[in-house]
């Protein structure tokens, strides 16, 4: 069995907005970049995880994924409603897929 880690990363200028009262936009973007890079590197170094891929919302995210040495795909039009529909459909079609269930969990998160 092959295990994949799929890491969602929305456009950094939209990341961590709930922290706006404490951190300015640049600080929130830097925080998200550090968090993503750490998680990507840990996943890539984890025995048993065969593939790590990021779904990124902008060119900065693609650069972070490349720098972390992981694959990436672009989500050119971040749309949470669409993401939810697609994730729910994937979970229906692949009910035993850990990746589909994990993706659905991230959309709900």
With contact defined as beta carbons under 8 Å apart, do 72 and 54 qualify? yes
pLDDT for the residue numbered 1:
81
pLDDT at 37 over 90: yes
pLDDT for the residue numbered 106:
83
With contact defined as beta carbons under 8 Å apart, do 9 and 61 qualify? yes
pLDDT tens track for 20-32: 999 999 999 999 9
What's the CA dihedral at 12, 15, 17, 20 to 10 degrees? -50
pLDDT for the residue numbered 78:
55
pTM of the predicted model over 0.95: no
pLDDT for the residue numbered 107:
82
pLDDT tens track for 38-96: 999 999 999 999 999 999 988 999 999 999 999 999 886 657 788 888 899 999 988 88
pLDDT at 97 over 70: yes
pLDDT for the residue numbered 35:
96
The CA–CA distances, whole Å, from 62 to 40, 54, 58, 72, 73 equal 12, 8, 7, 6, 8
What span, in angstroms and rounded, lies between the C-alpha atoms of 89 and 74? 20
DSSP 38-72: HHHHHHHHSTT--EEEEEESSHHHHHHHHHHT-EE
């Amino acid at each position: 069995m092959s295990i994949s880690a799929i890491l969602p990363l929305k456009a950094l200028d939209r990341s961590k907005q709930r922290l706006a009262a404490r951190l300015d936009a640049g600080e929130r973007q830097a925080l998200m970049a550090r968090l993503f890079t750490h998680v990507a590197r840990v996943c890539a170094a984890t025995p048993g995880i065969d593939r790590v891929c990021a779904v990124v919302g902008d060119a900065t995210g693609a650069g972070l994924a490349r720098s972390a040495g992981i694959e990436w795909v672009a989500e050119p039009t971040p749309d949470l409603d669409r993401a939810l529909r697609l994730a729910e459909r994937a979970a229906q079609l692949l009910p035993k897929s850990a990746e589909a269930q994990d993706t659905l969990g991230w959309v709900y998160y």
